[in-house]
Each structure stands twice: as C-alpha cells, then as structure tokens.
Structure 1
Amino acid sequence: MALTPAQRHRARVLAEKAQAESPFGIELKGSAYELMLAKLAGDKRTLKNLESVQLKRQAKAKLLPDYLPWIEGAITQGQGGRDDVFTATMVWAIDAGAYGLALRMAAYVLQHKLPLPDNYQRGTAALLLDEYADSYLRGQWQALRLGTDDEGQPALVPDDTHPAEHLTALAGLTQGLDAPDQARAKLLKATAYAMLGKVQTAETPKLDGLPPQTLADVHALLVQALHLDALSGVKKDIERIERKQRALAAPAVTPEAAPAETKASAKRAPAATVPTAKAAVRGAAKKPRTPKT
C-alpha cells in the first residue's frame, strides 16, 4: 500500500534524523533504521519468490517509491554512516532502470565510501560499471525516472534521456576510481554503441548521416576500450569508422573541380579522336577482303 503524503513526510523526517545522528563509518542505529531493515528483508523475500528476472525488475520498480523518503533523507542529511538499506536500494534502482536516481545515490555512496551489502562481491565502482554497461549491451535498457502515477502517487515513469547521457555521467562519476580494466572498457563500448544507435557487437552500425565530430568521439571511446581490453570486441567497429572517416576526408573529383589546363586541353582535342560507339561496332563488323590470286 502506498504511503500517504503525511506518512511520506514523517518517513522523510525520521530518515533525516537517523542519518544526522549517525557519524561517518558507523552503521546506522535507531528504530527508524531497524524498521527500514525489516521492510527491506520482507521485500527481499518477496523478490526471492519470483523466478523471472523481468518480473523481479518490475517488482523493484514498484517497491522503490516506498524507499524514496529514506533515500532523500540520506542524500540531504547523511554523514556517511553505513546504511545497508541505501546501498541495497541503489542496486535495485539500477536493476529497475532508474538510472538517474541510481547515479544520485552512487555519488553519495562513492563520496562516503559506503560498503555494499555482504552479498555483493565487487567494489562499488566495478558494480556500477558492469551493471550499467551490461544493461545496455544486453538490450535491457528501459530507463525510468521519478514521477507520479495516475493517482498522483510517487512512481517510476518512462525516462526519455538518451542512454549515452547516463553512461557518460557514470564514466565521469567513476573516473579515477579503482575498477577492473574490462569493466571500464565495457562501459566505454556501451557508450560508443549508444551514440551509434547500436546494441549488439554483431550489428553493423549505420554511419551515414552521423556528424564527423560524433564519429571522432565514438572512435576515441572504442580505441580506449580496445586499449583497456584487447578482447572487448570493438576492432571491426574501429575499422568501419576509420574507413568512413577516410571517405569523408577524400576530396570529391568533379568537372568543376578539374584543373583549368585539363579543361582547356579537353576543349582543344578533336572530336574524331574519340570514336563513337556505333563506329566502333561497324569497324568490328567489317570482314577483311581476300586478295585476288
């Protein structure tokens, strides 16, 4: 059941109070945090009963609005206390497609170096790079943003932000952080593919009509990806773009662009020097005369 405006306000106040009273590096305490942990545990049991990954994503999108007061309280008043509710729902936001919300949450997690829940075996930067890139490259990118439903209740609604914007924002957020080269190469590849309108590696991108600067930007991303991971699968795309760039750079040869001397020579040349097609056919058809004996 969705929270009423009064309940959301009270939840936000309690979240801010709990965050403000929890110093950096120490796990949050208090009844408000205990209640949120209990809710998280119950929602996890609900998700565990679902076998379909797609249904899990949809369920997380419906559950997340209940956590928004807690999330906003942490972002605005948090001092870096360990918060398993916040970090778990950050991952849920990525899974649900709420990429903009997840980026805001990730900025707080990275700033305060919050540890992920124990069931996650990767560092935060690696997790973010992998999850965002995989979502795009596996064709599962369905972005959502914060909004309201038909009844005016907080909900996640379709987000028309271009995928490359979210992916580029994540690259900036994680720049300089320690993460596997393969994960960073995968994000570079996903960003380049998003700019090309391509998803799968085997697809041939449509390069016609793309501005030269876009081609240059995509080429730079793919070269970086290949440098970080020789098995990133971007070599053919780099070659395609380089061929297109060479074609765009080659000057087009037209009669108007021909040198003046060549034009003049062509005018002086007698017409008879270039036989017509009919004349050539007649000449080939004549039989040689047999000399008289």
Structure 2
Amino acid sequence: MRDTPISRHLKKIAATPVDAGQPVGAATRMQARAQDLMRAKLATDQQRLKATKSIARKIEIKREVLPDYAAYVAEVLAQDAGTQDDVLLTLMVWLIDVGSIDAALAIAQYAIRHGLAMPAPFERSLAEVIAESIAETPDVPAGLLARAIELTDGHDMVDQVRAKLYKAYGLAIAADSPATAADALRRALALNDKIGVKRDIARIEASISVSGKSGKDADT
C-alpha cells in the first residue's frame, strides 16, 4: 500500500484497539469515520474516471488507486459489522475490473452474507453484479468461477446472467473435465437458448466419445 496521508490514517484506525469498556457499537462508529474518509476519496477518484474516455485508461486508474483502499477493506472485513457500505461494493467491482477476482470474491462473500445492496447507479442485484462481472472477465481461473457459482447459487437473478457464469465455467474446464464442462454448458443453454454454446457442447461430446472409444480399443 502506498504511503499517503489517507493510508497512514487508516492504518492508525486499524491499529486502534476497541476498549472493552466502550459502548457497544464503538467499532462500528470507528468504521463509519473511516468510511466517510473513503467516501470522499472515492468521489474524487470517480470524477477522475468520469473525465477519462479510454476504457483501458480507466482500468489503469483503478489499478493505480485501489491500493489506497486496501487497509480500509481489510478492516471492514475483519470487523465484520455487516453495515451497508457503498464504498466497499464499488471497490469490489473495481477489483473485478482489474482482474483481482480473488480479492473481489472476499468482499462479495462478506456482502452476500450480510445482505448488502448494490449502490446507485448499479441497477442489478448484488448476486447479478458478481455473476455477470466475473463471467465477462477474460481468463478467470476455473476455481474462482466455481466459487462465484457457489456464492451466488440460490440468489434470484435473471437467467441470462446465470447462464453467462455457467458458460464461462464450462469453457474454463473443458480441457481437463469435459464431462463436467458439458453439464455446465447444458445448464447455460437451458437458462438461455441464445447463449451460444451448442457448438461447444457438440465439440466436447465428440471428444468424450473419441476418448471412450480409445479406451475401449486399448482394452482389447
């Protein structure tokens, strides 16, 4: 984390123990003060992003500023207060945007467990944002896609969004686990018949068939 006045202040907050004699909610109030500071910084960073037209440059800016929020995120997750936190949820999306899926999923797990809601201008639910954003990120490891599926399972969302996540997972594991991949792609197709996986399913099924025949030939 870069050494800035904000980072030093957050480290001081994070290092300050909550006295057992303090009234209940002292930790939450401390977190609220840190959140106010982060909200002001976030507004500044969002203005910078708004003034930038290039998507690639926007991602560079997010990657540049995200370390400034690291201590705050760590403290919120450690305190586990579960209060609505628009700053935290925005940072979750930014982490996905820069490809830090593991870090984003840590926030996502906290947010879903506490029933947090996505802030404006996001129109989709928390589960939908997690599923769609991760599904649309290139080259996400299969294990992280599986975590996203598990995390959002049982949460209501439009079928097209869940289909994207199953498609991404199926394609990610096609080489190593073709049977499971075919099942995931069939699930995606059942949710959205325009998801574009029919050829992938046919290709994987053909490879499974060839592998099965090769195995039988080897046994004879």
| 1:81-100 alpha-carbon deviations (Å, 9 max, x no partner) | 11111111111111111101
Partner of 2:111: 109
Which amino acid counterpart does residue 3 of structure 2 have in structure 1? L
Deviation of 1:33 after TM superposition, in Å, equals 2.5
Structure (1 or 2) with the larger CA radius of gyration: 1
Partner of 2:190: 227
Q: Does 1:20 align with 2:36?
A: no
Partner of 2:3: 3
Deviation of 1:6 after TM superposition, in Å, equals 5.0
Higher helix residue share = 2
Alignment of 1:49-198 (within 5 A): 49-136=51-138, 141=139, 163-196=141-174
* Contact 2:34-2:72 within 8 A present in 1 as well: no
TM-score (norm 2): 0.85
CA RMSD of aligned residues (A): 2.7
Deviation of 1:168 after TM superposition, in Å, equals 0.9
Pair 50,6 (structure 1): closer, same or farther in 2 beyond 3 Å: closer
Deviation of 1:163 after TM superposition, in Å, equals 1.4
Alignment of 1:254-293 (within 5 A): 257=220
* Contact 1:188-1:225 within 8 A present in 2 as well: yes
List alignment gaps of at least 5 residues for structure 2: 20-24
* Contact 1:2-1:66 within 8 A present in 2 as well: yes
Distance (whole Å) between structure 2 residues aligned to residue 105 and residue 36 of structure 1: 16
| 1:158-214 alpha-carbon deviations (Å, 9 max, x no partner) | xxxx61111111111111111111111111111111223xxxxxxxxxxxxx55xx1
Distance (whole Å) between structure 1 residues aligned to residue 53 and residue 87 of structure 2: 23
For residue 67 of structure 2, give the secondary structure of its aligned residue in structure 1: helix
| 1:192-238 alpha-carbon deviations (Å, 9 max, x no partner) | 11223xxxxxxxxxxxxx55xx1111111111111111111111111
Which amino acid counterpart does residue 118 of structure 1 have in structure 2? A
* Contact 1:185-1:229 within 8 A present in 2 as well: yes
* Contact 1:11-1:69 within 8 A present in 2 as well: no
Query: Matched residue pairs, number?
Result: 211
Distance (whole Å) between structure 2 residues aligned to residue 12 and residue 3 of structure 1: 15
Distance (whole Å) between structure 2 residues aligned to residue 90 and residue 126 of structure 1: 13
* Contact 1:19-1:81 within 8 A present in 2 as well: no
List alignment gaps of at least 5 residues for structure 1: 23-27, 142-161, 197-209, 258-293
Percentage of matched positions with identical amino acids = 33
For residue 136 of structure 2, give the secondary structure of its aligned residue in structure 1: helix
| 1:112-158 alpha-carbon deviations (Å, 9 max, x no partner) | 1111111100001111111111112xxxx4xxxxxxxxxxxxxxxxx
For residue 114 of structure 1, give the secondary structure of its aligned residue in structure 2: coil
Distance (whole Å) between structure 2 residues aligned to residue 40 and residue 253 of structure 1: 62
Partner of 2:217: 252
Partner of 1:269: none
